[in-house]
Amino acid sequence: MPRSPRFFISPEQVIGSRITISGEDVSHLATVLRMKPGDSLVLCDGIGTDYLVTIVHIGRTEIGAEIVSQSKRDIASPRIILGQGLPKSDKMDFIVQKATELGVSSIVPIVTERTIVKVKDEEKRITRWGKIAREAAMQSNRPDIPVVENIQHFAKYLDKIVVDPGTLLLFPWEEATMPIKDVLRGKSDMKRIVVLIGPEGGFSVSESGLAQQKGFHPVSLGTNILRTETAAIAVLSMIGYEFFS
């Protein structure tokens, strides 16, 4: 039996036993998927509740649906924050998509000393990355959508990070000698993991120093030099293996 289509809504769209779907999803459901009254789909509120609904009516700007059943799902813990040095071209699109599939809770685009790309049209970029994250969350059956934060500069972002006993700070760096597995093991009580990934060219020595002063663990991903998009996927996969498998 084919799986019902899944779309995200906001909790405010749930009123009693009815849910009103609006925005771009209306066109996609009615025109692309050709859904009609009586068809079923799953609507997720982004905070852990899934609603199995039946479409009642389809209008030009809204679709009305009746709730058939609902279920709760846990949001993955620890929460993973990816601080990603801005890469060239459309690599950030790929990183946002794959990081979402691999379970990050938020993505912070970061400008570093070796960032090559010029930051233009920031609002459009954030909107685009947010849309990519939403689509990837739907495709990967996540109960939530990661937040894509505004572009931040490396040092200022470090100043904002709150360090507490439940937070693990990881700094993958080509000069590090400590294997990441040695840092991840024995940290099952962590509530939050912050990972910093450099852009093309990696982090500078001064940036490494700032990160270590903040409490980040310099960790090695192996002897091979990885592309920035590969490093992000590798680290998130290792964290997933240790905490979610």
CATH numbers and ranges of domains, the chain? 6-72 (2.40.240.20), 79-244 (3.40.1280.10)
Structure tokens at 144: 């939530």
Going by the DSSP 8-state scheme, the letter that residue 14 receives in this structure is E
Cβ pair 95, 125 in contact under 8 A: no
| Rounded average pLDDT over 98-125 | 93
Distance, CA of 90 to CA of 84 (rounded, Å): 14
What is the predicted pLDDT for the residue at 1? 46
Confidence of residue 208 (pLDDT cuts 50, 70, 90): very high
Task: Say what the pLDDT of residue 5 is.
Answer: 83
Provide the residue count of the chain.
245
User: Dihedral (C-alpha) 90, 173, 234, 131: value to the nearest 10 degrees?
Assistant: -30
Q: How distant is the alpha carbon of residue 101 from its chain centre?
A: 7
The chain-wide mean pLDDT, for the chain, equals: 93
Measured distance CA(67)–CA(64) in Å, rounded: 10
pLDDT at 2: 58
Question: Residue 188: which pLDDT band, with cuts at 50, 70 and 90?
Answer: confident
Least confident piece of the model among 1-5, 23-27, 109-113, 179-183: 1-5
Encoded tokens for 20: 């009103």
Q: Give the DSSP per-residue string, 150-200.
A: PPEEHHHHHHHPPP-TTEEEEEE-TT--SBHHHHHTT-TT-SEEEEEE--T
pLDDT at 56: 96
Q: What is the pLDDT of residues 218-241, one digit of tens each?
A: 999 999 999 999 999 999 999 999
For residue 76, what pLDDT band results from cuts at 50, 70 and 90?
confident
Q: Name residue 93's amino acid.
A: D
pLDDT tens digit string along 9-54? 999 999 999 999 999 999 999 999 999 999 999 999 999 999 999 9
Query: 86, exposed or middle or buried, with CB in 10 Å at 0-12, 13-18, 19+?
Result: buried
Confidence of residue 118 (pLDDT cuts 50, 70, 90): confident
DSSP 48-61: SEEEEEEEEEE-SS
Sign of CA dihedral 66, 69, 74, 80: negative
Residue with tokens 């990967």: 140
Q: Does residue 74 have a pLDDT over 60?
A: yes
Average pLDDT over residues 196-209: 94
